Amino acid sequence: MATAHYGNGVNGNGAVFPAARYSAVPPHITVPVPEDDDTFDVEIQLDDEIQDDPTELCTLLSSVHSAKNVWMTVAIGYAKHKKLDVAIEVLSKAVAEFAKGRAEDRLSILNALCWLYLLKCREAPRVLPDGKSPNDVRLKDYYIQAATSVLNDASRISPSYPPLFLARGVLYLLRASLQPPTTSSSGQMSADRMDTLKQAAKCFEDALRNSNGKNLMAKMGKARVNYTMGRYAEALKLYQNVLESSPDLIDPDPRIGIGCCFWQLGFKDDAAGAWQRSLELNPQSKIALILLGIYNFQLTAPLVPSDPNLLALIRKAMDKYISPAFQLDKNYPLSAATLGSFFVVKKDYAKAETLGRRAIELTDVNAIASDGWYQLARAEHAKGDTSKATDCYQKADVARGGEDRGYIPAKFGSAQMKVIQGDYDGAKFRLEKILQQQSTFEAQVLLGTLYAEDVFSPDAAKSTEEKANDTRKALKLLEDVTKAWKDAKKKASPDQSVLLNLARLYEDDYPEKSLKCLEEVEQMELDAIDEDDYPEGVEDEASRKRLLRELLPPQLLNNMGCFHYQSERYVQARELFQSALNACVTAATKDASTDTDALVTSISYNLGRTYEAEGMVDEARDVYNGLLSRHGEYVDAQLRLAYIALRQSPTDEGPKAVKALYESNKTNLEVRTLMGWYISRSKKRSSNFADDAEQHHHKHTLQDNGSAHKHDRYALVGMGNINLTIAREMRRDTEAEKEKRRKTYERAVEFFDKVLQIDPKNAYAVQGIAIALAEDKKNYPEALQAFTKVKETLKDYSVFMNLGHVYVELKQYSRAIENYEIALSKERARDPTILSCLGRVWLLRAKKEQSLAAMKTALEYSERCLEIAPDNLHFQFNVAFVQISIAGLVNGLKNHLRTCKDIKTAKAGLDEAIETFIRIAKAPNPPFPRYDIEQRANMGRNTMRGQAEEALKKQEAYENQNTEKLQAARAQRDAELRAREEEKRKAEEAAAEERRKIREERERLAERDREYMEKRVEEDRRRQELIDDSEMRKTERGARRKQGGGGSASKRKKANYDDSETEAGLSSDAAERPRRRRTTVSGDDGGEEEERPRQKKRKLERKSKVSSKFKSAETIVDSDVSDDDAAAPPATSDVGTPGGADTGDEGVSAPRSRKAARVISEDEDEDDGGAVKAHGNGDLGMDDDEDE
């Protein structure tokens, strides 16, 4: 076989690849056959022309007593051509032939026969194929038993024969793979399987020991044992050790094992790298191909369906890896299972079923068998065969351990089958088991949905507590699902069904959360609209959204509108109902078969109710009339029209409309409810329960029509309220009257309790019980708690009225006033009852606080009541009572707390109150006993009027006596105010002056800085000009030096040049220093340089000053800095030779990089007495106060 050499021999590079399997089998062999004292050679073909029937061949080999190697070569030749059964037959005859031969020969034959059985076991089916009987097909178990028998025979010959260790280890591995996995939740392996693997590990250890650790197949076997036990790190080390020992090994390839270990350890990219290397070395490796295909499939897991990379990865996995692997070996179980999973995703269940069965039949790995059963289950699931699908799901689960371990998708499939079969309890049980094992997103969705359906179903068998428990479970599960959507790692997509179920669950207790869920569904629907359907030419976002809503499901918009209506957001509700109606039209246009009449009717009715709530009565009436024109029997629309008529004409058209509607629909509960409400508002009050007209109406509602209406909640609440009203007005002077009143309250509570049994969340019934607690039991704290809970549900003014009553009894007058005012704001600004309650509570507060202002507020509310009903004696009495109370309060106040005006006003009110009391006492039916009213009038006339006169005299005397004091005090207060104002004015002026000075100082500093910066810019410009001139002269000098060629000429030119520079005020040394060159000095030239006079090297000087000291910096920062007369030594030398800073022209070498300029501080002349000291690097630092 040809060899290939690559690289350095690492990881298959540079090594000689080993020969392929069966490459040692020759195309033919020659067998000498004796005949008549002679022999002749018989050629046996082992190539493609090998005989199918080995009988003649075996007879020949037996007759000539061929050697053991000939028999084994012939058997391996058959195995090479995939004729394993024939090869086994040949070796079986060899066993018989050598039964009395040498032990070594017999052991070799038995060992080879065992390996053939093991190879056959890998190819044999795991279970019986469909339509086959046990006599037709031999399973893996048969060949394992056969291999075991052969090994036992060999062990009886020589138990310590080294090759047997390896064969026995592989046999144990195969046996362990067929044993069922563990079922415990801890993940521990079953005891039987663990024992089998330990025996395999011992066999491989024995093989390694006998080979001094050189048996690579034994190392591979030991690594496989560790991998099966879940010891992936140990297995990885062993595979890597094999690869280091034999980097040219590719069949079997340790890189496959290395990649599998990396995969299990979570390093999937490293795993793919190992498999890719294996594929590079062996392009025909079906194992590497299929594993790389699985890796590329795994890369698609975090991608959403809309991701453009998804399709590319799937195509790459299929076309580049999985399909080629399947073409190489269509019976390879892993390829079949992987390709089958792909067809399941494509919903090509016929192909998936075929491949799944192949994987089940041929694999010796439980996980692959589980995948096959799962594919069969999905196929049967799609066909609708629930019994077969359930069976296959269970087998897929059991193949991976079942019970507390198993295969989660298969468990979920079994739960789905239970749902389809209607066994919801069984489905919930399986889903809960799944969630105990692993928090699975799909299981949470399905289980939460099942619990939600239990809540929604009208199951009378379930108690309220059970329903509440189901609600809690459903909410917990579905809320966890919504949280998972926000976790980017989980890549979970929002599901409309989850949000809709949550909306229904939140509806009663958390309407705002319910609305939020519906709004999220709306946004998902809007996002799903194709851009082609977007309205053109609409720029406004609100208008665009309104038009897009017409493409949404009308049911969704209607429900959202209802929630806005309940929250009294009528504008938003109206817009949604209108959009829902337009959406109905759009849906009917797209699909003519869609029946939207029922939806249009319901949404139109809701729109009419919204118009009513907004006070748009005419629009509401038009909507109801439109409904009746299409559906004349629509009672709800008739009822609303009657109610509108009753509100607009409570004494004429309204009662007629209500009575007409009642006469035509006496059995309709809604109509009877409206009639009961009308009677309760228009009836004459009676203290006798039997004479009450409303009571008669509700009684007929509950008793008529058999038992159909006996649970009408409105009628029951109405009966309770009637009893409450009668009990409230009963006399309680005697014990008998008190007992009768108590029983009436109890009868009211019984009605409310019955309502709560029917509807545990009925707020009106709870409110009735709370009223009874407050009025009968005087249990105000519990009543307050009940009213507070009712307020969260019921948005009616009566709740706030009752809260106000309780707070009054608890003497919390501020809280009572707050609740009464809220009730007044509920479109009841002219409700005399609420106004009278406010007058009463302000009166009580005024008496408690002795506040005249509170008393006046009480009078204001009482007068407002009287304005609404001027003939009402109760309201007249209330005004008179407050007026006389004000008079009493003012008379008792101290002088400094009242004024003469207050007393006069109170006195006038007292006179009016006296007249009112006299007039009320003469009425036929006064609100209170006539004698009491007359006595109150007499007290005001005889006592309080005189007290008012006396109080007015005292107040006038008090105010006259204190007028001067008041004037003096007022003048003193005015003077103090003027003084404080003057001080404040002066302080403001001083602050303004200070701010002006600061501003001017800042402007001066800014001007100074600007001038300084301009000066610096000008100096920089001049310095740059000098540098440019120096560079130019240096260039010209270099050109002249090259032309002259001689040292003396150069020196003469330099001298002339220096003279010219000196005249300009710049020395040659100063001009050259910014561009210093590294020089080398030799012989005579160096001597001349040392003798050169230094006085020619001068600095740029200011002519106005006398030079004081020499500046050693290379660059002059300021033009006005004084120069030194004396030359300072250079800070550093450019080269390590004497006179390095004063080198001549002839010794110039290549230019070196320019150093940073040394900077001289402006105040250095004053601070330093001598030359500036150079830093170690040749640079001088700038002082902190340079700019100053």
Q: Average per-residue pLDDT in the chain?
A: 83
For the cut 50, the answer to whether the pLDDT of residue 1054 exceeds it is no
For the cut 60, the answer to whether the pLDDT of residue 1147 exceeds it is no
630 near 598, Cβ under 8 Å? no
489 Cβ contact partners less than 8 Å away, ≥ 6 residues apart? none
Cα(172)–Cα(191) distance, integer angstroms: 14
Reported as a single tens digit per residue, the pLDDT across 560-610 is 999 999 998 999 999 999 999 999 998 888 877 777 899 999 999 999 999
Cα(887)–Cα(901) distance, integer angstroms: 12
Instruction: Say how many C-beta atoms besides its own lie within 10 A of residue 898's C-beta.
Output: 19
For the cut 50, the answer to whether the pLDDT of residue 714 exceeds it is yes
Reported as a single tens digit per residue, the pLDDT across 526-564 is 998 888 888 887 778 888 888 999 999 999 999 999 999
Residue ranges of domains in the chain: 871-961, 976-1030, 1079-1188
Position 374 scores a pLDDT of 94
Least confident residue range of 129-143, 827-841, 843-857, 1077-1091 = 1077-1091
Reported as a single tens digit per residue, the pLDDT across 924-978 is 888 889 899 999 999 999 999 999 999 999 888 888 888 777 777 778 888 888 9
For the cut 60, the answer to whether the pLDDT of residue 1060 exceeds it is no
Instruction: Say how many C-beta atoms besides its own lie within 10 A of residue 127's C-beta.
Output: 17
Residue by residue, DSSP assigns 600-661 as: HHHHHHHHHHHHHHTT-HHHHHHHHHHHHHH-TT-HHHHHHHHHHHHHH-TTTHHHHHHHHH
Predicted confidence band of residue 1082 (pLDDT cuts 50, 70, 90): very low
For the cut 90, the answer to whether the pLDDT of residue 301 exceeds it is no
Predicted confidence band of residue 425 (pLDDT cuts 50, 70, 90): very high
Predicted confidence band of residue 1145 (pLDDT cuts 50, 70, 90): very low
Distance separating the N- and C-terminal Cα atoms of the chain: 90
The Cα angle at residue 923 between residues 918 and 926, in degrees rounded to 5: 90
For the cut 70, the answer to whether the pLDDT of residue 1090 exceeds it is no
Least confident residue range of 313-327, 409-423, 1070-1084 = 1070-1084
Position 742 scores a pLDDT of 93
DSSP 1096: G
Cα(529)–Cα(1025) distance, integer angstroms: 71
Predicted confidence band of residue 184 (pLDDT cuts 50, 70, 90): low
For the cut 60, the answer to whether the pLDDT of residue 367 exceeds it is yes
Least confident residue range of 50-54, 345-349, 625-629, 670-674 = 50-54
Mean pLDDT over residues 189-194, rounded?
Answer: 84
Cα(1161)–Cα(1182) distance, integer angstroms: 6
For the cut 80, the answer to whether the pLDDT of residue 917 exceeds it is yes
Reported as a single tens digit per residue, the pLDDT across 734-783 is 999 999 999 999 999 999 999 999 888 899 999 999 999 999 999 999 99
The Cα angle at residue 106 between residues 105 and 112, in degrees rounded to 5: 90
Position 157 scores a pLDDT of 92
Highest mean pLDDT among 592-601, 845-854, 1100-1109, 1155-1164: 845-854
Reported as a single tens digit per residue, the pLDDT across 490-507 is 777 889 999 999 999 999
Cα(806)–Cα(784) distance, integer angstroms: 6
Highest mean pLDDT among 62-71, 104-113, 961-970: 104-113
For the cut 70, the answer to whether the pLDDT of residue 1126 exceeds it is no
Predicted confidence band of residue 1061 (pLDDT cuts 50, 70, 90): very low
Mean pLDDT over residues 429-454, rounded?
Answer: 92
DSSP 63: H
For the cut 80, the answer to whether the pLDDT of residue 348 exceeds it is yes
Mean pLDDT over residues 287-300, rounded?
Answer: 94
Position 802 scores a pLDDT of 94
Reported as a single tens digit per residue, the pLDDT across 308-321 is 888 899 999 999 99
Cα(1014)–Cα(1151) distance, integer angstroms: 35
Least confident residue range of 365-374, 627-636, 676-685 = 676-685
Mean pLDDT over residues 719-733, rounded?
Answer: 91
Categorise residue 1105: left if φ over 0, alpha if ψ from -120 to 50, beta otherwise: beta
Reported as a single tens digit per residue, the pLDDT across 832-859 is 999 999 999 999 999 999 999 999 999 9
Cα(521)–Cα(798) distance, integer angstroms: 36
Higher pLDDT, 1167 or 1019: 1019
Position 1146 scores a pLDDT of 34
Reported as a single tens digit per residue, the pLDDT across 8-27 is 445 555 444 455 778 788 88
The overall pTM is greater than 0.75: no
Q: Which residues of 678-691 are buried (b: 16+ CB within 10 A; e: fewer)?
A: bbbeeeeebeeeee
Query: Which residues does residue 34 pair with via DSSP β-bridges, in sequence order?
Result: 39
Backbone torsions φ then ψ of 944, nearest 5 degrees: -70, -30
Position 13 scores a pLDDT of 53
Q: Of 50, 52, 29, 31, whose CA–CA distance to 41 is shortest?
A: 31
Instruction: Say how many C-beta atoms besides its own lie within 10 A of residue 498's C-beta.
Output: 23
Position 1023 scores a pLDDT of 87
Categorise residue 900: left if φ over 0, alpha if ψ from -120 to 50, beta otherwise: alpha
Position 1068 scores a pLDDT of 38
For the cut 50, the answer to whether the pLDDT of residue 1182 exceeds it is no
756 near 746, Cβ under 8 Å? no
Predicted confidence band of residue 1024 (pLDDT cuts 50, 70, 90): confident
Position 463 scores a pLDDT of 78
For the cut 50, the answer to whether the pLDDT of residue 923 exceeds it is yes
573 near 564, Cβ under 8 Å? yes
Least confident residue range of 172-186, 220-234, 458-472, 786-800 = 172-186
Position 708 scores a pLDDT of 66
Position 967 scores a pLDDT of 78
3-state secondary structure of 1133: coil
Portion of the chain with pLDDT greater than 90, in percent: 53
Mean pLDDT over residues 132-141, rounded?
Answer: 83
1162 Cβ contact partners less than 8 Å away, ≥ 6 residues apart? 1117, 1118, 1121, 1186
* Pairing between β-strand 28-34 and β-strand 39-45 as defined by DSSP bridges: antiparallel
Q: Of 526, 476, 525, 524, whose CA–CA distance to 501 is shortest?
A: 476
For the chain, count helices (H), then strands (E).
50, 4
